[in-house]
Structure formats: C-alpha cells, structure tokens
Amino acid sequence: MPTTGREPRQERSRQHRIPAAQLDELVLAALARAAAPLSAYQIIAALRDERKTVAPPPIYRALKRLLDQGEIERIEMLSAYRIRIVEKCIHAICDSCGGLSSIPASHAVDALNAAMKHAGFASPRLSIEATGRCARCELADRGGAG
C-alpha cells in the first residue's frame, strides 16, 4: 500500500450517502478481510482506507441489520463484530494472545435458548463468551514446540 504521506484532505466535502444494501456489503467485506473482530470505529477506519467516508449512525444501523440477519456476531468482551462462522458456539478469548476461537457447543446453546424461551424471552440472541489460555499459548508456556 504505497502512500505519499500527503493525501488531499478536501475529500470530506464530497461525502455522499451510501445505500443501505451497499453499506452492508462494505461492512461484510471489511469484516471478511480482517484477521480479528473489528469495532464499529475500526470498521469506519477500514472503509476510510477505501476512501468511503461513513458516519457512525449508518454503520451501527448496518451492524444491526447484519446481526438481525445472522450474518455477523458481536463479541461483547471485545466490543467488536465479525462474520458468523459457527452458529452455536462458545467464543473463547485467549488471555495471553487475545486470539478468538469458536468452540462448537450446540447442546449448551440449545439448552440455554430453551431456558430463555421458557422464561418468556422472545427470540433470544445468545452469546457465550469465555476467557482462558488457548492451546498454542499453553503449549508455548510449557516450553515445547513439538
């Protein structure tokens, strides 16, 4: 990515409204490219890198739509979003490296969803998150690389 170090800053006045469907695609593309979950402001920064200036309110509306469609998920502990990979899982965040793993847990998720519905919660959006040490960090800590 070559940069000259002096980008013209007058582009702000050329802000134009991006249609909702197109914005959703841009947000999905930004999340798909990212190696880790992105916060709303990191998504805005990623779009700015593509010369797309978007204010926070439309980004939050796009994130809401994509959450409702099940396309993305929010990782509460990180205040960040990512493409949904595994539907019913535990989001395990490593205390050492910050890595995020999706551990399939459909029985647990089904049981918790049933409990929520039993308590009268309509369409619960369940997110199970845990912290610990990932297998790679644990192995490295034991001083062994195989």
Measured CA distances, 127 to 8, 51, 62 (Å):
42, 33, 19
Total chain residues near Zn ion (CB under 5 A): 6
- Cα gap 1→131, rounded to integer Å: 35
For 102, the token pair is 């999706």
Q: Which stretch binds Zn ion (CB under 5 A): 8-16, 45-53, 68-76, 128-136?
A: 128-136
Contact 86, 102 (CB under 8 A): yes
Does residue 130 interact with Zn ion by CB under 5 A?
Answer: no
Strand partners of residue 74: 81
Does residue 137 interact with Zn ion by CB under 5 A?
Answer: yes
Stretch 82-121: interaction string toward Zn ion, x if CB under 5 A: ------------x-xx-x----------------------
Tell me the closest approach of the beta carbon of residue 36 to Zn ion, in angstroms.
12
> Tokens 């702000």 correspond to what residue?
12
CB closer to Zn ion, 58 vs 99:
99
Q: Give the distance from CA 48 to its chain's centroid.
A: 18
Which residues are near Zn ion by CB under 5 A?
94, 96-97, 99, 134, 137
